[in-house]
Amino acid sequence: MTERLTVRDIDLDVLRCGAGRPLLLLHGFDPVPSHAPFLERLGAHAEVVAPSHPGFGRSSRPDAIDSVYDLVRVYLDVLDRWPAERVAVLGLSFGGWLAAELASISSSRIERLVLVDAVGIKVSPPDTPDIYDVFNRSPHDVHRRRWHDPDRWKPDFDAMADEELIAHHRNRESLCRYAWHPYMHNPKLRPWLGRIDVPTLVLWGASDGIVSPDYGRAYSAAIPGSRFELIEGAGHHPELEQPELFVDRVVAFLKE
């Protein structure tokens, strides 16, 4: 079910499904597809609420909202308005960055945290890139690095309706606005991950060519008590390539 949520004059497009423990799902490079198999499986165990970030999908974006700092404050407001006292937060890729920022600032409304192939921190020295440049490398190379089985997930732009093409380019424009510089990270975030004091699971696709499993291990090591797990047969999007295994791992963690 799709609905609208207004937060500080921002109209967010929100996908809601399932029933059970509340789970805020923060998407990555693109909003979560409503037909994604992992959503239905996850909805059997939790009430999943998945907003499209401001500027993505059909969510509005006022001119003043132009940084990750702004997005984090929007989601702090979303958590404050949530009827449940505490919720689980699951962040995918770029959404994992937002989830980590949220938990490092204030975890009082967060019950559990799941970071999936998250970007957002600097691990290597300044002259060594940690995150593959999805903006300035060829689309073919970016696509190949995103997926364990890239041929299966190759987009067919000729078959897309005009509305889908507009949404695709709007998503990319918004991602550029938020994550162009510094590229896909907050230089100050990593030291503050030590403030996260809720149970945390860091999940990673074993074939991820955007951010490597070693990057994920460094992410996990910076969060006290977190657990790192690999998902085989998946790249940067294990929720799409291995939906059954992905949901099994997430649900097991949420039930601990």
Q: Which domains does the chain have, with CATH numbers?
A: 2-255 (3.40.50.1820)
Residue 2 has pLDDT above 90, yes or no: no
* Strand residues in 117-249 grouped as ranges (E): 200-205, 227-231
CA 126 – CA 46 distance, rounded (Å): 40
Name the H helices within 66-188.
68-81, 94-105, 139-146, 162-179
Burial class from Cβ neighbours inside 10 Å (0-12, 13-18, 19+) for residue 85 reads exposed
How does pLDDT run across 165-195, given as a tens digit for each residue? 888 999 999 999 999 999 999 999 999 999 9
Check residue 36 and give its pLDDT: 95
Average pLDDT, the chain: 95
